[in-house]
Amino acid sequence: MFGSSPVTVVITSEADAWDIDASSCLGCGRFVDWDRMPDLEQQANIPSDILTKPRKELKKLAREGYWATSRALRAQVYHQLIQQVACRLVTPDALVYTDVASRLFGEQSVSSHPLPDFLEGCSMPTYCLTLEGVTALKKILICISNLFPDITYCPILPSLVALLLHYSKEEAQCFENISRLIASTATHTSYIDQSFLAHQASCMTFGDLANKHCPAAHKLIASASENVFEVYSEWLSWLFHDLPFNYAIRIFDVYLLEGQKVLYRIALALLKQYRLSVTSTELEGIDIKTDLHAFVQNIGEHMTVDKLLERAFGIRLFSRKEIWLLQMANRKALMERGITMVQSRQAFHLAVDMQNFNSSIVTAQEMRIIWSWIPERFSLYPPLLLFSTLEDGCSLQRFYSRCEGYEPTVLLIKTTEEEVCGAFLSSDWSERRKSGATSGFFGTGECFVFTVRPEMERYEWVFIKKPELAKAVPRSRQRSPSPSPTSLLSSSPDSPGTSSNHLTVPSPQRTRGRLSPFLAIRHFLLPSKTASMFMAGSREGIVIGGGGGQALALDAELLWGRTEHCETFDNPPLCQENFKVQLLEVWGFQNT
């Protein structure tokens, strides 16, 4: 994999020279130990106008590893792309670096200067840098601290600077390029998180995405780890500390063109591959966080970098704007927990308290897995019991009075056959009154239903798994909605009777945006109204999920229920279709 002899490198340095001129900058690569650098990939004929191609085509070339065929090309591409990044008007450049470095260091050794506080507890990968390169890395980081005093926490920064140094002629050039990424003002595009708050919000966002896109791996981690968030908080370290250089640099190729979103993709692909390589039995007694680091460090045993990128770009993520909105929601939740922009690291435990949790329906271990399924911004808070038929009796009105004012909630049901199922409900039950006398369906695409026993399984909004179903279609071609259900519960052999249902079906509206699970159904043009029936309640009972059936339906006495397949969640029956409730609990989120 690695070359055994020195390689002569030729890199173009002119910022505005779009043509590749391999003879114009001999002597580049002074910071690199070429014996440790991986061999170039198969050489390709590089057209002289490569960098004038449209950005969309450049993305395609970067994903395919085109820059890996020429170090000169990669060096020039990096510099040119970064120079095109929109950034703050006053952004330090190479001349500023020369002046500040001279003032800070003079004749002193860099070792006499401590590393910046924002790197506290952060690793510093050096990849294939020489000792001179490592010294240059430290000097650049110290100058960044001097010129960007607002940076309070930035664990990814050493890796990015180190990677850039491999393809920089001088320290000053590397400094100018990293400064532009730090000062980027691109809309909804983030390159570098610069505070503990922003970093934690990104980790929470990755947890949300892993929850959606890697359910098998997420469930495995939740079962094996007491704190899922602690595992996911290492996601950037997988990419820019654990991955070998030839993987990390290919990721950097696409990162410059596509921003942080591509990092989420790569980490999700790694998580999916990790799940394929281990079993629950193998993880017994193992520190899963450490095991994940070891897996990524040895990724070459499992997949090539091309296969990793192929799988990463096969994942259907939300749009860049939607991911940004999710990050903002997570940041707000962290601020409500007391995390600020200016503070450095703070340890806090984001998990169900195994010692104090007490439910009559599920164990603490089962609740920990359920809690890992809910959006990260809510799982910051411990569960709070709002209603229990054991303590509050079987009264729907008392159910409403105890649950109103809390958003979201988790509903748990245990049947007389010892089956356990439930639902995560994103909206306050008081929403049922906003449509007037006859309540309609409400809630958002974050709602889901689940089973706990005999097997644990989650069923999300159908458009999470099949976003293509929500493509805009002419209203004349939309399917007619299923009629509003005529009863909450069909008669069962043991049921004393039926009750009427007056729930109405909401009308979806048009939107220009893509599908987002964080917004209400009114924002989407859906092919069927029945695929967006999340939750509804009236005096006669409650319904969760609709269209062709109801995922869960309970009567006014909270005694009899029914479950069947529904279009909203595309779920099978969650237990026996007609069931009698043994126990019912509703849990909220203790945010005070």
Q: Using CA atoms, how far apart are residues 420 and 414, in angstroms rounded to an integer?
A: 5
Q: What are phi and psi of 377, to 5 degrees?
A: -65, -20
In this model, does residue 383 exceed pLDDT 50? Answer: yes
Give pLDDT tens digits for 130-163.
999 999 999 999 999 999 999 999 999 999 999 9
**Averaged over 268-297, what is the pLDDT?**
86
Residue 342 has pLDDT above 60, yes or no: no
**Encoded tokens for 370:** 């359920």
Separation of alpha carbons 316 and 464, rounded Å: 10
- What is the average pLDDT across 77-89? 89
The span from the CA of 240 to the CA of 227, in Å, is 23
* Cα distance between residue 100 and residue 455, in whole Å: 62
- Structure tokens given for 517: 């699970």
Q: What's residue 372's pLDDT?
A: 86
More confident residue, 239 or 118: 239
Long-range contacts, stretch 47-53, CB < 8 angstroms, 24+ apart:
48/19, 48/20, 49/18, 49/19, 50/20, 51/18, 51/20, 51/76, 51/77, 51/80, 52/18
Q: Is the pLDDT of residue 164 over 60?
A: yes
